[in-house]
Amino acid sequence: MKCNAWSSLAISVCSALVLTGTASAHLSIDPARVTTGAEVDLVFSVPNEDDAVGVDHVTLGIPSDFDLDDAEAKPGWTQSRTGQAITWSGGHIPKGQYATFAVRGTAPKRSETVLFNVLVGDRTGKSITYRVGLDVAAGAERDSGARSLGKAALAVAIVAGALALAALFAALYVWLRPPPL
């Protein structure tokens, strides 16, 4: 890919390609861009493209300037934390499938691309390390995780409540109005 476009999106994409290499092409992070200093939920989609034994451990190395709050508890997996690393082990990702692993924290306070190291391995000792970039920018799109979805659900509930209240008043008006002459 030729990286000569000057838009910030093109620069971000080109930077991510240069910094993360080809190994991260199959592992993804959502959202890929967050606002500086924002509280975020990050979801890593971890594939097992060709390991017949099956992936049984995943370790996320969290950048030092990302303030890690907590990590998702996954049924069937044991979780441990050592400093800025979270390891899920004992589960199973069969060949040709993927699993998601989520963390919650606060993005760095300055604009930059932070790199997460994601080690994926099986019980035979075979492993691969992915380097996944997260763009942190002032004014970037907000977190698309559970917090944003919760706010959207609250807004929908408020609108639905207002509509139900309006329907109730309309029904009461029809019921209580005087009969026509």
Q: For residue 150, name the pLDDT band (cuts at 50, 70, 90).
A: low
Going by pLDDT thresholds of 50, 70 and 90, the confidence category of residue 17 is very low
Which pLDDT tens digit goes with each residue over 56-105?
999 999 999 999 999 999 999 999 999 999 999 999 999 999 999 999 99
Q: Please name the CATH architecture into which domain 8-141 falls.
A: Sandwich (2.60)
SS (H, E, C) the chain: CCCCCCCHHHHHHHHHHHHHCHHHHHCEEECCEEECCCEEEEEEEEEECCCCCCEEEEEEECCCCCEEEEECCCCCCEEEEECCEEEEEEEEECCCEEEEEEEEEECCCCCEEEEEEEEEECCCCCEEEEEEEEEEECCCCCCCCHHHHHHHHHHHHHHHHHHHHHHHHHHHHHHHCCCCC
CB 113, CB 133: distance < 8 Å: yes
Q: What pLDDT digit, counting tens, does each position of 34-50 carry?
A: 999 999 999 999 999 88
The strand pairing partners of 42, in sequence order, are 103
pLDDT, position 144: 54
Share the mean pLDDT of the chain.
Answer: 80
Structure tokens at 95: 């060949």
